[in-house]
Amino acid sequence: MPHWFFISILLAFLSLDVTAVGQFMVSRPIVVGPLVGWFLGHPNIGLEMGALIEMIWIGDLPVGAHLPMDLMMLSGVSVAFACELVGSQFPPEAVMTYALGVTIPLAALSTEINIFVNKFNVRWVHLAQRMALGGHFKTFAWINWFVVVELFIKGFLVTAASLILIHFTSGLFYLFGTILNGRVMEGLYYAHWLLLALGCSAIIDLLIEKKNIFFLVLSIVAIMSLAIFDQMQGVYLVSIALCAGFAIALFFMGKGEKND
């Protein structure tokens, strides 16, 4: 894997955003994907994969003590791997599906490592307690920066190991592509379209209540009609949807206040 060192450094920095520093969401797939893709010369692949990962795992929330799947690692490593494979003779949709499929177990492993780190952090809090009681305030404050460095190193090692590991599965991809007369590639190509449907379902599952499904169907029909008859598409259609959405939102917000 070319550039594995620089990608690991980049992803280690971005991994700090997940919990340690800020939570500005620079570690979300929609940002990490295009960034890694741009770094490797395929921003389009990064953008498409980032959007797909963002959609599919949109409902995996860090609520309470639950740690969601390490999406930063999933998007960064899978995009880097897809960029490596995309120059081959196979369709990019199949490449993206394959790259995601082989990276998911590694992302799950990374999540387990995150859980271990969070258990280990208990020791830092106990140390902080001793420092506080002893009046060692400088050491107390330094614990914060030690943990930032610890998380950076963890992010680097996990990403670097994943990138190196995943590189060895590229042979399998070419094997699938050639010995089975392209059938596997065809399947992976279809899967990409189905995964977009899965992404839409994940959004519905999280954002749309059962009683509002009718409005969603109505919205699809309205947008479809606009697309067919008014030739109103692309970014203009998104703008119209945003304005309409906010108008409806304001209407229902007002209604809610009256009901309260």
Partner 1 sequence: MTEEQPVSLNRKDLTGAFIRLFFIQTVWNFERYLSYGVAFVMLPILKKIYSTQEDRAQALSRHLEYFNTHPYMASFILGAIIRMEEEKQQLPKAQQKQKEEEISALKVGMMGPVAAMGDNLFWATVRPYCGLLAATLVLSSAFQVKGQYWVIPLLFLVVYNVGHVGIRLTGFIQGYRKSDQVVLTLRKYGFQEAIRGLKFASIVLLGVLIVFVNLSELEKEMGLFVLKLTFFTAIVGLFTFVLRRKISPSQLFYAVVLFALMLAFWPDISAMPKDNHFISSKPAAAAGFMADKKPIKGKL
| Of residues 59 and 165, the one with the C-beta less far from partner 1 | 59
Tell me which of 168, 171, 211, 234 binds partner 1, using CB under 8 A: 234
1, 14, 39, 57: which one binds partner 1 (CB under 8 A): 57
Minimum separation from the CB atom of position 8 to partner 1 (A): 20
Site for partner 1 in 94-133 (CB under 8 A): 94-95, 97, 100-101, 104, 108, 118-122, 124-125, 128-129, 132-133
From 11, 31, 72, 158, residue interacting with partner 1 (rule: CB under 8 A)? 31
Per CB under 8 A, does 172 bind partner 1?
Answer: no
Residue appearing with tokens 């690692």: 73
Do residues 160 and 5 lie in contact, with contact meaning Cβ atoms separated by under 8 Å?
yes
Per CB under 8 A, the list member of 43, 73, 106, 154 interacting with partner 1 is 43
All residues at 6 or more sequence positions from 192 whose CB lies less than 8 Å from its CB, including other chains? 93, 94, 96, 97
Contacts of 40 (CB under 8 A, 6+ apart): 3, 7, 46, 79, 80, 83, 84
Residue pair 54/29 in contact (Cβ under 8 Å)? The answer is yes
Closest to partner 1 by CB, 164 or 245: 245
Work out which of 1, 7, 30, 160 binds partner 1, going by CB under 8 A. Answer: 30
Helix, strand, coil shares, percent, the chain, to 5: 80, 0, 20
Residue 201 binds to partner 1 (criterion: CB under 8 A): yes
Q: Which of 168, 171, 164, 170 is nearest to 7 (CA)?
A: 164
Q: Shortest distance, CB of residue 196 to partner 1, whole angstroms? A: 5
Rounded CA separation 153/9 (Å): 9
- Of 2 and 62, CB closest to partner 1: 62
Q: Which is nearer to partner 1, 50 or 158 (CB)?
A: 50
Cβ proximity to partner 1, 168 vs 234, nearer residue: 234
Give the one residue of 9, 113, 165, 204 binding partner 1; rule: CB under 8 A: 204
What angle do helix axes 43-56 and 29-39 make, rounded to 10 degrees? 160
Residues of span 3-22 touching partner 1 by CB under 8 A: 19-22
- The single residue among 65, 168, 171, 211 that binds partner 1, judged by CB under 8 A, is 65
* Count of residues touching partner 1 (by CB under 8 A): 133
DSSP per-residue string spanning 235-253: HHHHHHHHHHHHHHHHHHH
Look up residue 15 and give its two tokens: 């991994």
